[in-house]
Amino acid sequence: MYASKVRTYDMHAIGKPLPLQQLQGLNIRLVAVSKTKPVSMILEAYDCGQRHFGENYVKELEEKGHDPQILQHCKDIKWHFIGHLQKNKVNRVTNVPGLCMVETVDSEKLATALNNSWGKLSQNRPLHIMLQVNTSGEDSKNGLQPSEAAAMALFVQDKCLHLKLAGLMTIGAFERSVGDDINPDFQCLVQCRQKVAEVLGVGELELELSMGMSHDFEHAIEAGSTNIRVGSTIFGVRDYPQNQTHGSTASDSNSCSSSLTSKNKSDSGEASGSSHNSVSFVS
């Protein structure tokens, strides 16, 4: 299942193919969002070369991160927390084996809590984080205002010695991702990165952009995304428990990774008589 959907993933699957010049040389991290999915699916994806997995809920990340099968079989798994994180649950997240990144930091208090928690663990590396920016302006979504991103980045750089700012993350409004034009929410995050890079004194490309899910990852890549969060397109439609509440989430580092190559095919099979567009997915 996983191999057929991702290892030879179809760049035509959702929308128009990306121009060849935009695909060549891209190195994009694919975070397979496994929320609500069983451990067996994670094991299957891992066996196909996938390493980065995303979870939205603290309890589910804890359970999967400490699962005996995953601990034994998935030695190089990289967990991304991509849901809203409350300060009182920070320690539960930082104690998960294989935690790679928290993509949803949206306040100084949360950054401070993560910094203190990670520092107490005496890890030999900083915890990679991203700042979540609410570029759509929707009340249902968490995140910093675009105007707050630069100041927040400076705070992390100056006050959080155990954290490494990897980049910025956003969730684009669904209705702005269904047309042919690039979602303005993605363009807004690109502009935020320019300002953040300027105040930090780093190059723009040193900061990642996490944007794009199952329905809009192609538009996100066109806009400059380096980290896409794909769930249902890989694992199938989610079946939420009736008593589980969920709102807008980020689903659907510079550390160890392997590459998957995505080839441009038509829905009916390999495209004939033309070159393949390809993009290297950091799995």
| CATH code, domain carrying 48 | 3.20.20.10
Tokens standing for residue 59: 């309890």
Tokens standing for residue 101: 């990144």
Identify the band that residue 143 occupies on the pLDDT scale cut at 50, 70 and 90: very high
Label residue 244 left, alpha or beta by phi (over 0 means left) and psi (-120 to 50 means alpha): beta
H-helix or E-strand containing 29? strand 27-33
Place of tokens 């070369």: 49
CA–CA separation, 112 and 218 (whole Å): 34
CA–CA separation, 271 and 237 (whole Å): 27
* Domain assignment of residue 241, yes or no: no
Residue 242: predicted pLDDT: 56
Tally of CA atoms within 13 A in the half-sphere of 208 that contains its CB? 25
Quote the longest CA-to-CA distance of the chain.
58
Tally of CA atoms within 13 A in the half-sphere of 146 that contains its CB? 18
**DSSP class of 267:** T
Place of tokens 């300060």: 87
Identify the band that residue 1 occupies on the pLDDT scale cut at 50, 70 and 90: low
Residue 12: predicted pLDDT: 35
Q: Which of 115, 117, 128 is nearest to 162 (CA)?
A: 115
pLDDT digits (tens, 9 = 90+) for 81-92: 999 999 999 999
Place of tokens 């121009």: 19
* Domain assignment of residue 255, yes or no: no
* Domain assignment of residue 211, yes or no: yes
Q: Which domain range does residue 156 map to?
A: 28-230
Using the predicted structure, report yes or no on whether residue 265 has a pLDDT greater than 80. no
* Domain assignment of residue 277, yes or no: no
- Are 30 and 6 spatial neighbours (Cβ–Cβ below 8 Å)? yes
In one letter, which amino acid is 2?
Answer: Y
Using the predicted structure, report yes or no on whether residue 100 has a pLDDT greater than 90. yes
Number of folded domains that form the chain: 1
Identify the band that residue 52 occupies on the pLDDT scale cut at 50, 70 and 90: very high
* Domain assignment of residue 242, yes or no: no
Specify the pTM: 0.81
Cβ neighbour number for residue 158 with a 10 Å cutoff: 8
Crossing angle of helices 184-200 and 149-159, in 10° steps, is 40
CA–CA separation, 218 and 18 (whole Å): 7
Crossing angle of helices 149-159 and 108-120, in 10° steps, is 30
* Domain assignment of residue 12, yes or no: no
* Domain assignment of residue 186, yes or no: yes
Phi, psi of 155 (to 5 degrees): -60, -45
